Chain A
Amino acid sequence: MSSRLGGGMGFLATITEGIAVALDALGANKIRSGLTILGVTIGVLVVMVMAAVITGINSSFSEIMSSRGISTFYVAHWDFTSMMDIDIGGDDEEGGDFMKNEPLDPRWARELGRLPEIEKASAFFEAGGPPGSGYQASVSSDRVEISLYGTGSDFLEIDNGDLVQGRWWTESESERRTQVAVIDSATAFDLFGSRNPLGRDINIGRRGESASFKVIGLYRPPANLFAGLATHYVFVPFPTADKVLQVWDRMLNFIVRPKPDVPLQRALDVTHARLRQIRGLKPGEEDDFALMTQDQLVDVWGQLTGVLFIVMVGLSSIGLLVGGVGVIGIMMISVTERTREIGLRKSLGARQRDIMWQFLVEASTLTVMGGSAGMLIGGGIVWALNTFSPVPATTPLWAIIAALGASAMTGIGFGLYPASRASRLEPVDALRYE
Chain B
Amino acid sequence: MTVNTGAETVAPMIVTRDLKKDYVMGAETIHALAGVDCVIQRNEYVAIMGPSGSGKSTLMNMIGCLDSPTSGEYILNNQAVQDLDDDELARIRNRDVGFVFQTFNLLPRATSLHNVELPLIYAGVSSKERRKRAEHALDIVQLADRMDHKPNELSGGQRQRVAIARALVNDPSIVLADEPTGNLDSSTSSEIMDVFDKLHEAGQTIIMVTHENDIAAHANRVITLIDGKISSQTTETSNQITQPPKVVLEAASAIPSASQPPAPKSTSPTGETP
Contacts and interface: CB of A to CB of B under 8 A. Distances in A.
B132 interface: no
B91 A349 contact: yes
A122 B105 CA distance: 86
A349 B67 contact: no
Contact of A347 (B99, B110, B127): B99
B122 A4 contact: no
Interface stretch (B47-55, B153-161, B166-174, B230-238): B166-174
A346 B67 CA distance: 11
A338 to B, nearest CB: 10
Nearest to A25: B109
A177 interface: no
Given A4-B95, A351-B90, A9 B124 contact: yes
A89 to B, nearest CB: 55
B4 interface: yes
A349 B93 contact: yes
B241 interface: no
A162 B137 CA distance: 80
Interface in B126-174: 126-127, 166, 170-173
Given A2-B77, A3-B95, A349 B105 contact: no
A2 B105 contact: no
Contact of B122 (A1, A3, A28, A354): A354
Contact of B123 (A340, A346, A349, A428): A349
B173 A346 contact: no
A6 B3 contact: no
A349 B66 contact: no
Contacts of B64: 347
Contacts of A24: 109-110
Given A3-B2, A349-B93, A349-B119, A13 B124 contact: yes
A422 to B, nearest CB: 14
A17 interface: yes
Say which size band chain B's interface belongs to: 35 or more
Contacts of A341: 107
A345 B166 CA distance: 12
B63 to A, nearest CB: 12
A352 interface: yes
Say which size band chain A's interface belongs to: 20 to 34
Interface in A1-51: 1-4, 6-10, 13, 17, 24, 28
Contacts of A348: 93-94, 99, 118-119, 122, 166
Contacts of A17: 121
A344 interface: yes
Interface string A421-434: 00000111001000
Contacts of A400: none
Interface in B1-59: 1-6
B214 interface: no
A354 B166 CA distance: 19
Contacts of B67: 426-428
B173 A2 contact: yes
Q: Which of A2, A8, A24, A350 has the most B CB atoms < 10 Å from its CB?
A: A2
Contacts of B191: none
B96 interface: yes
Given A340-B105, A341-B107, A349-B94, A2 B166 contact: no
Contacts of B93: 346-349, 427
Interface string B229-264: 000000000000000000000000000000000000
A207 to B, nearest CB: 74
19 contacts: A1-B171, A1-B172, A7-B87, A7-B91, A7-B124, A9-B123, A10-B126, A13-B121, A347-B66, A349-B94, A349-B170, A350-B90, A350-B122, A351-B90, A351-B122, A352-B86, A352-B90, A426-B67, A428-B61
Interface of A: 1-4, 6-10, 13, 17, 24, 28, 340-341, 344-352, 354, 426-428, 431
The 6 A-B residue pairs whose C-beta atoms are closest, nearest first, are A349-B94, A3-B2, A349-B122, A351-B90, A428-B67, A428-B66
